[in-house]
Structure 1
């Protein structure tokens, strides 16, 4: 770790030193190395309380050494707002993070954000996954928050086509949240990066998530909302996007479904309608459109369910439990009184028969209900 990074880490590990204080220190002293060497009175001249200087960790502090070890072991990078590698578009927002912790590598590509409901419908998950895949296949990096539902589907869509994706976390980059996204987390690192403005070791605290939404929109040229209730946190991302001058997009949905309320209100307020990836490309990257293709409906009518054939009693029980609402593997095992190993074998058999479909995050629905 470079000395400048170590000095930044010493400052950022102080509980009282946040984004605003780091900006003050850098503006006054010109670099963080000079700031940690400065006296208490010099800090006061910079407009910073003397007690914060008094609690600054020493270079040999056990907590600092432990953090260095964690960062080295997990290959975590640290960059500040003043580094050349800091994302250029993120620098332009009103309140950019002073420091970023990164696992993986930030792709040097244009970014587009896709966010939405944690309790998305199967159709919404498929829409997010397909749109993300089509954009990623065009060389566009997909940004989201790795939450359950639409966020996970968007990341998975990029991974499916070997595209780039960035997950912005509301916790430290050493925390996988939710835990069910462990496999996806490592896939994202392989195809891009997980990033956070919080030091490693920071848990998923509720108050961190609204602030991370400004980073999701800040990294991207545009933001797509796929399913969101009227009070959804995804709409906070849309608000940030509006303040940051980003383009806002929304997908339509069933008019009486609660998850359609957010996107429909955005469309009424002037968001751009999306039924196909070409709508996004036309608005932001028209040069990538070689020919305008007919737009198909985002959610065509689902085919009628096919009756299962030759299922034993355990498989039939699992099949009958599956439906339109995604169920997690653990929940299915509990409700059907099956061991995880037995359930995995049954689900694999049902998938091969077309009677079940796996969704991002270890969720399953009945196969005949997937229609996009």
Structure 2
């Protein structure tokens, strides 16, 4: 089974936090054997084993074919390339499917959201703020929806900037359909369209509130342009608060139902903004850099690092070493060795690859006296 398929199957396993699901996923990939045989051994209950094994092969195959296309890739939690800000939120997605430039997900972002039923006021100021914030060097992140979302994406593109669209559907089912071309333009101009769904997943109503956690999680802050008191836009603001992000709200005219949501946010403590400069200054003030001499070391030398599980590390070579081979050489049970290998991987001594592990750091104080022959 391909590593990508294992990852996609793990996405459908419920009842695991993202960190644990990621660890199990890496163990299954590193084992280099049929993963279904190890599911119980690594701690999945009967229901979770069934969820892993019964994932629809057709949908998996569609996503695997999609990944073969140029510019399409999968980012996995805990691995290089996964957005730094996103991995620290509660219930971070195990994986992200990305069409376009994945590097843009690491750039400073401001989420801009608002109602689908927008007013001329919302359209005007949404376009203005998106353009000016783009000139400030921020990437505009939104949900590609009709209304304020689409207005902000287009304004960022018009300002020759990058923008990120987070979908509540699979990337082969861009929703709404009339924004297919907008999604293409986002990719063409160096941005990205992302989703945590299989590419064939439909735009179900339940998907959209949860995708909002990704919109806010990717961003330094959330700007609400226009929203009623019952707008789904306020869900994004709530996620932002839970994630420790800044929340900004644009005031509107009294009596306008589309400003009641933003006024309520301001009453709850959101920043009232009247210009893009307010946001740029607030986000800039939240970054504090410590001054230090350029020769000051910011890490200890390798010799000072305490080596974990030297008896296991000694048996991982520069070429791919299967888990069962490491266990046999070390004279330890596979279940114990798998846990130690994961710790060594997290510490940066080895890397999980298809078929086993490889050494990526030299440790002069590891001696082969630990090897049992």
TM-score over 0.5 for the alignment?
Answer: yes
> What is the SS of the residue equivalent to 1:228?
coil
Aligned-pair CA distance for 1:185 = 1.0
1:143 paired to 2:121: no
Structure 1 pair 211–29 and aligned structure 2 pair: CA distance change class (3 A): closer
2:157 aligned partner: 159
1:249 paired to 2:276: no
The answer as to whether partners of 2:36 and 2:53 remain within 8 angstroms in 1 is: no
1:99 paired to 2:98: no
Aligned-pair CA distance for 1:29 = 6.3
Aligned-pair CA distance for 1:4 = 2.9
Greater relative contact order (Cα < 8 A, sep 6+): 2
5 Å matches for 1:172-321? 172-191=170-189, 192-285=191-284
Which of 74-83 and 110-119 deviates more? Answer: 74-83
* Alpha-carbon displacement from aligned partner over 1:261-310 (angstroms, at most 9, x marks no partner): 1100111111111111011011112699xxxxxxxxxxxxxxxxxxxxxx
1:67 paired to 2:63: yes
Report how many residues are paired. Answer: 283
* Alpha-carbon displacement from aligned partner over 1:52-103 (angstroms, at most 9, x marks no partner): 5457569xx6654443223324742111102110000001111100000011
The answer as to whether partners of 2:168 and 2:203 remain within 8 angstroms in 1 is: yes
The answer as to whether partners of 2:216 and 2:222 remain within 8 angstroms in 1 is: yes
* Alpha-carbon displacement from aligned partner over 1:291-342 (angstroms, at most 9, x marks no partner): xxxxxxxxxxxxxxxxxxxxxxxxxxxxxxxxxxxxxxxxxxxxxxxxxxxx
1:78 to 71, 74, 85: 74
1:4 paired to 2:15: no
Structure 1 pair 29–181 and aligned structure 2 pair: CA distance change class (3 A): closer
Q: Which runs of 5+ in 2 are unaligned?
A: 288-373
1:119 to 102, 111, 117: 117
The alignment yields a C-alpha RMSD, in angstroms, of 2.8
Aligned-pair CA distance for 1:49 = 2.7
* Alpha-carbon displacement from aligned partner over 1:342-361 (angstroms, at most 9, x marks no partner): xxxxxxxxxxxxxxxxxxxx
Q: Give me the TM-score of the superposition, normalised by structure 1.
A: 0.69
- For residues 8 and 29 of structure 1, the distance between their equivalents in structure 2, rounded to whole angstroms, comes to 6
> What is the SS of the residue equivalent to 1:95?
coil
2:16 aligned partner: 20
1:353 aligned partner: none
Q: Which runs of 5+ in 1 are unaligned?
A: 289-372
> What is the SS of the residue equivalent to 1:224?
strand
The answer as to whether partners of 2:40 and 2:49 remain within 8 angstroms in 1 is: no
> What is the SS of the residue equivalent to 2:277?
helix
- For residues 201 and 169 of structure 2, the distance between their equivalents in structure 1, rounded to whole angstroms, comes to 5
- For residues 81 and 94 of structure 2, the distance between their equivalents in structure 1, rounded to whole angstroms, comes to 13
- For residues 110 and 46 of structure 1, the distance between their equivalents in structure 2, rounded to whole angstroms, comes to 38
The answer as to whether partners of 2:213 and 2:236 remain within 8 angstroms in 1 is: yes
Structure 1 pair 202–216 and aligned structure 2 pair: CA distance change class (3 A): same
2:351 aligned partner: none
- For residues 51 and 37 of structure 1, the distance between their equivalents in structure 2, rounded to whole angstroms, comes to 22
Aligned-pair CA distance for 1:231 = 0.9
The answer as to whether partners of 1:19 and 1:97 remain within 8 angstroms in 2 is: no
The answer as to whether partners of 1:139 and 1:164 remain within 8 angstroms in 2 is: no
The answer as to whether partners of 2:168 and 2:204 remain within 8 angstroms in 1 is: yes
